[in-house]
Amino acid sequence: MQAAAASKRLASRVLLAGLLAALSAGAAHASKKDDTLRFAYDQAPESVDPYFNNVRIGVIIGAHVWDTLVYRDPATQEYKGLLAKSWKQVDDRTLEFELREGIKFHNGEEFDADSVVYTLNFIANPDNKVTTQQNVNWIEKAEKLGKLKVRLTTKKVFPAAIEYLAGPVVMHPAKYYQEVGPKGMNARPVGTGPYKVAQYTPGKSITLERNPTYFAASPKGKARIQKIEIRFIPDRQTQMAEMLSSGADLIMHVPKDQAEQVKAVPHLQVVSGETMRIVFLQMNALDGAPAPQFKDIRVRKAINHAIDREGIVKNIVGSGSRVLHTVCFPSQFGCTDDGAPRYAYDPALAKKLLAEAGFPNGFETEILAYRERNQTEAIINNLAAVGIKAKLSFPQYAAMRESIRANKAQLTHQTWGSFSVNDVSASTPVYFGFEGDDITHDAEVRDLLAKGNASVDPKTRKDAYKGALTLIAQRAEAVPLWSLPVFYVAAKDLSFKAYPDELVRFWEMSWK
């Protein structure tokens, strides 16, 4: 298995070298001339409606087509008014918003309190099955207090409300959304954002055009580049070939070894840095799961000890990454690894634990993954070294998530970017809060996370989250791995900045 993986990586490097030699000289630069930025991405969103998607490309598209009530400045972390010009905290569970006047949706519909009230009440209704419930299930109701005034009530005290309202909670046009619903919004998306959708072919491509009437007071600012063409290209080599021939201007999630080779190409630039995206393994310990061995804490601890996290980070993941010991990103409020046990890389101890659990020769399992395949292959090699033979299944994310929620998954290689929300409530509870993605169901952990989510006292929140994260680590209910850096390859003449929240901001970009 190790030899096969090495052979595959070598073939990839040889292919890339050939592409570099054949294509890097004399590449055409059509994109700047026609003011069109061409972006290739390896996953397609299951829906363009932000409430029915939770893959990164959907988040990126959503931030350009739609706006939120509040904007968090990525440089200063300051909250600024976006669709709301001001807001106030009336009491522990009540927020009131004064909305901007004169804003229109891409279809001409007026933005006002009706848009906010309809959107918030629609997504808060569990019958409407928003994909990531943790983003919306804190909302009790929204009420219209006037044409440009709205009151929002939370179910419980929820101190992270503004953070969510500055992130995944976008505003839809009330009349249009009521008429077409999520399916119609996916087919013909309509928002107020700096770009509008000009053309969309599900699974293949989406074209965004600059919104000429975007409001001047927006902290996002008006878009500079006229058109953004996004193509969904699963194969990394095809993406790279497009970059080398100037058929594309930007790609992301480029493997470390490829990014290093591309630095020598005159018409391209490489940008990298750590992101909020965390990487971890899930082990299905639910009743009726297809791999009952994961119920045994010795097996779960063995898997923790089997993974050479430092080695994989150094040799495969790349600079900008760090090893994690808890399932959250260090900058998120409430994230800590203080008190959590460290599982050192120790194959001998892993084998000993497996033998004690009744698996002296290891066992066979399936591992689900959907991105960073080279990292998954390194994990598989580590597991094989202690006797665990993991067969790789590599579907699109939506199919993987469906398998997890149907209790059919065994071992899962997950990544999570928290919708760029800088609060633990957006990460750990997604996988340990008894929602669809929780395949552990530890009631003590759930209750501590709920306490952290609902308190107004920062110390109470931090203590509750610390307690939950410590228990998860002590009980080896997951395998925290590392933070994920992103390597971007961009056209040399594109003015481009990478952000830790992994949100590609096309509206800021320009041609040099």
Q: Which residues pair with 206 in a beta bridge?
A: 200, 230
Side chain identity at residue 276, one-letter code: M
Q: What is the Cα–Cα distance from 231 to 242, expressed in whole angstroms?
A: 11
Phi, psi of 418 (to 5 degrees): 60, 20
Residue pair 96/107 in contact (Cβ under 8 Å)? The answer is no
Residue pair 486/46 in contact (Cβ under 8 Å)? The answer is no
Q: What is the Cα–Cα distance from 163 to 134, expressed in whole angstroms?
A: 13
Report residue 309 as tokens.
């996290």
Domains of the chain plus CATH, in order, are: 28-44+192-274+486-511 (3.40.190.10), 64-187 (3.90.76.10), 275-484 (3.10.105.10)
Specify the pLDDT at position 15.
47
Residue with tokens 């249009």: 176
Burial of 44 (0-12, 13-18, 19+ CB in 10 A): buried
The residues near 17 (Cβ < 8 Å, ≥ 6 apart) are: 261
Specify the pLDDT at position 165.
98
Phi, psi of 229 (to 5 degrees): -105, 120
**Tens place of pLDDT for every residue, the chain, 512 residues?**
444 444 444 445 544 555 555 444 444 455 788 999 999 999 999 999 999 998 899 999 999 999 999 999 998 989 999 999 999 999 999 999 999 999 999 999 999 999 999 999 999 999 999 999 999 999 999 999 999 999 999 999 999 999 999 999 999 999 999 999 999 999 999 999 999 999 999 999 999 999 999 999 999 999 999 999 999 999 989 999 999 999 999 999 998 889 999 999 999 999 988 899 999 999 999 999 999 999 999 999 999 999 999 999 999 998 889 999 999 999 999 999 999 999 999 999 999 999 999 999 999 999 999 999 999 999 999 999 999 999 999 999 999 999 999 999 999 999 999 988 999 999 999 999 999 999 999 999 999 999 999 998 999 999 999 999 999 999 999 999 999 999 999 999 999 999 988 999 999 999 99
Buried/exposed 172-192: b ≥16 CB within 10 Å, e otherwise: bbbebbeebebeebbeebbbb
Side chain identity at residue 115, one-letter code: S
Specify the pLDDT at position 410.
97
CA 284-461-158 angle, 5° bins = 90
Specify the pLDDT at position 14.
46
Specify the pLDDT at position 19.
53
CB atoms within 10 A of CB 256: 18
Residue pair 61/48 in contact (Cβ under 8 Å)? The answer is yes
Report residue 134 as tokens.
């943790």
Q: What is the Cα–Cα distance from 482 to 312, expressed in whole angstroms?
A: 9
Q: Roughly what angle, to the nearest 10 degrees, separates helices 2-23 and 373-385?
A: 160
Specify the pLDDT at position 24.
45
Does an H or E element contain 174, and which? helix 174-187
Report residue 373 as tokens.
């395949």
Specify the pLDDT at position 28.
45
Specify the pLDDT at position 456.
86
CA 406-410-414 angle, 5° bins = 90
Specify the pLDDT at position 32.
81
Specify the pLDDT at position 480.
98
Q: What is the Cα–Cα distance from 330 to 276, expressed in whole angstroms?
A: 8
Q: Strand (E) positions, 167-302?
A: 195-201, 205-210, 227-232, 250-251, 268-283
Residue pair 376/367 in contact (Cβ under 8 Å)? The answer is yes
Q: What is the Cα–Cα distance from 100 to 220, expressed in whole angstroms?
A: 15
Instruction: Please list the alpha-helical segments (H only) found in 95-137.
Output: 113-124
Specify the pLDDT at position 54.
87
What is the layout of strands, in order, in the sheet containing 149-154? 84-91, 94-99, 149-154, 139-146
